[in-house]
Structure 1
Amino acid sequence: MSFPDFSGKVVLITGGTRGIGLETGLSFGKRGALCVLTYSWGDHDEQAILNRFKEVGAPTPMLIQADVVNNDDTTALLNKIKERASKVDIFISNVAVAASVRSFDDLSLKGLKQSISYSTWPMVGYTKEIYKVFGVYPKYILGMSSTGPDNYSMGYDYVAASKSLIELFAKYLNYHLRGHDVCVNVVRSRAIKTKSLEDTFGKDLAEFVEKFMPDNFWILPEELSEAIVGLCSGYCDAISGETVTVDKGTTFFDNLMEIYNRSQKNKLKSA
């Protein structure tokens, strides 16, 4: 068993059947945790997921369809978990849904509300419902964010707004739950090659990045998932109410000057 050991722990990950959510589940699962992975639409291969957990020696995960904005789905989900466990030890709010914004005219209050409903509120709403069903809060509550609130990304208006809000709510949840031995944090990551990234920015982005940016521009899904495991390991409990950035420091030099620097180096190589 790879350190640390999460045997007997229950990890609930919304949007956990692909991308970052799935990789996070595997990181906990190979350390003994029972992972509950939710999904809203049938865009995954259930048997392939079960096989991946089996390959790493993880307990068979629970795959449950549950739309994070549907209260009935949430209640049914938690009741299914209660049939197997007495509590949820770790809750990771991973779902992010938002329309792409191509121009100022695309902005609407309806679009903003939708993004907040899917990408921000579940960290609060699920935490409330977990307590109602189990009588105890998860020891670790994590929200997922990105560098979007501080750096422009095309079409990312709604996502960036909802990510900003989840980072703010982490501070207030930490304050409100300070008497319950709970750690609340948000993990920020920079771009990770997933289908969600492709859906948001298009297929050409990866090729463009490889041409103009450093080789370590991308963060690997397992690098992010291992950082999440670390925050829930018991060794980082003094960190709460914080936004932790996982980016290898590349956000610092991901700018026009770096693109120019690389172009100059390429000129020297071709001379």
Structure 2
Amino acid sequence: MIDPDLDGQTVLVTGSARGVGRELLLAMADRGAKTAVHYNTSDDAAATVAGRAEERGASDTTVVQGDVTVPADVDDIFDAVEAELGAVDVLVNNVGAFAPVHWTEMDYETWQGVFDTNVNATYLCSRRALPAMHEQSYGRIVNVGYASSEKGLINPKNAPYFMAKAGVLMFTRMLAADTADDGITVNAISPYVVENSAEFPDELPRGRPAGFEDMSQAMFFFLDEDSGYISGENIEVDGGGCPRKCSSSVS
């Protein structure tokens, strides 16, 4: 098991009041990180997560609210984290809307929302985190993608999601190249079906969805102090089966 020492590091996970974001944040709390729980509308859930983070070993914690698709909100989020916990050492861009609707039946606001929450939020939060990371010559950015989205997945029911996640991975590699001499790494973890997914396909690789621990282990690989040379990479947390099946079986 990869078990990085995150004691005293400030971590911000977007959308960490629920689901995968919550579990990634709690896994880092287990390792002594200072945790910033971000939410937009789930205030009660965020407060609960902050309490759990403290119980599980976070060296400090705070709760921050804002819409990560709005530049002014992103500035406010980071200002609040920096005031309470210090500069962000680890940023996990987890927010990303999913719209399982055929593209011809999807209204424009939904289409745009998928791109805003997946691509634009990742851009805005990364841009805001970088100045402090440059100043301290250290930083870890982990973006949440989707398995095989770089391979041209075709599913009319999720077209903007696949397109947006391909964009997230392209941005990951561009940003990694642009920070190659600054002590910063930028990588991605890309699941297929996770244990909290609303629907499961008829067949799953290895007979089960990805667990939260599977996601955490992939993230920890990139956060480990011995992984400082690894940047611009993507770990697909899909059990090895998504390239063959997910383009047709996920709806």
TM beyond 0.5: yes
Pair 9,101 (structure 1): closer, same or farther in 2 beyond 3 Å: same
Shift of 1:92: 0.8
The Cα of 1:26 is off from its aligned counterpart by 0.9
1:54-93 paired onto structure 2 within 5 Å: 54-93=54-93
CA distance in 2, matches of 1:81, 1:43: 16
Residue 154 of structure 1: CA displacement? 6.5
Distance 1:148 1:158, change over 3 A: farther
1:261 is matched with none
Residues 98-138 of structure 1: CA distance to partner in whole angstroms, max 9, x if unpaired? 44322535375x54433222111222222222245776376
Q: Distance in 1 between matches of 2:73 and 2:83?
A: 16
CA deviations on 1:165-207 (whole Å, 9 max, x unpaired) are 010111111111222121111111110132xx32xxxxxx34x
d(CA) in 2 for partners of 1:50, 1:29 = 10
The aligned counterpart of 2:10 is 10
Whether the 8 Å CA contact 2:205–2:242 is kept in 1: the answer is no
Amino acid at match of 2:112: K
The more displaced of 148-157 and 180-189 is 148-157
Tell me, in whole angstroms, the C-alpha distance in 1 between the residues paired with 2:235 and 2:205.
Answer: 22
1:193 equivalent in alignment to 2:195 = yes
The aligned residue for residue 130 of structure 1 is 129
Residue number in structure 2 paired with 1:172: 174
**Matched position secondary structure for 1:240:** coil
Question: How many aligned positions are there?
Answer: 243
Residue 244 (structure 1) aligned to one of 229, 235, 238:
235
Q: Give the distance between the partners of 2:57 and 2:207, measured in 1 at CA.
A: 30
Which runs of structure 2 are paired with 1:92-111 in the superposition (5 Å)?
Answer: 92-106=92-106, 108=108, 111=110
Shift of 1:234: 1.6
Cα distance, 1:78 vs structure 2: 1.3
Unmatched tracts of structure 2, length 5 or more: none
Looking at structure 1, the residues matched to 100 and 191 of structure 2 have their Cα atoms a distance apart, in angstroms, of 20
- Structure 2 contact 192–246 (Cα < 8 Å) conserved: no
Tell which deviates more after alignment, 121-130 or 179-188.
Answer: 121-130
Tell me how large the CA RMSD over aligned residues is: 2.7
For residues 113 and 236 of structure 1, the distance between their equivalents in structure 2, rounded to whole angstroms, comes to 35
Q: Unpaired runs of 5+ in structure 1?
A: 199-204, 257-271
- CA shift in 2, pair 1:175/1:47, >3 Å: closer
Task: Tell me which residue corresponds to 2:22.
Answer: 22
Counterpart-to-counterpart distance in 2, 1:126 and 1:37: 14
Say whether residues 1:116 and 2:115 are aligned partners: yes
Distance 1:250 1:153, change over 3 A: same
What displacement does 1:96 show? 0.5
TM-score, L = length of structure 1: 0.78
* Larger mean Cα displacement after TM superposition, 15-24 or 215-224: 215-224
Rate the CA distance shift 1:119–1:170 in 2: closer, same or farther, 3 A. Answer: same
Aligned residues: percent identity?
20
2:222 equivalent in structure 1: 231
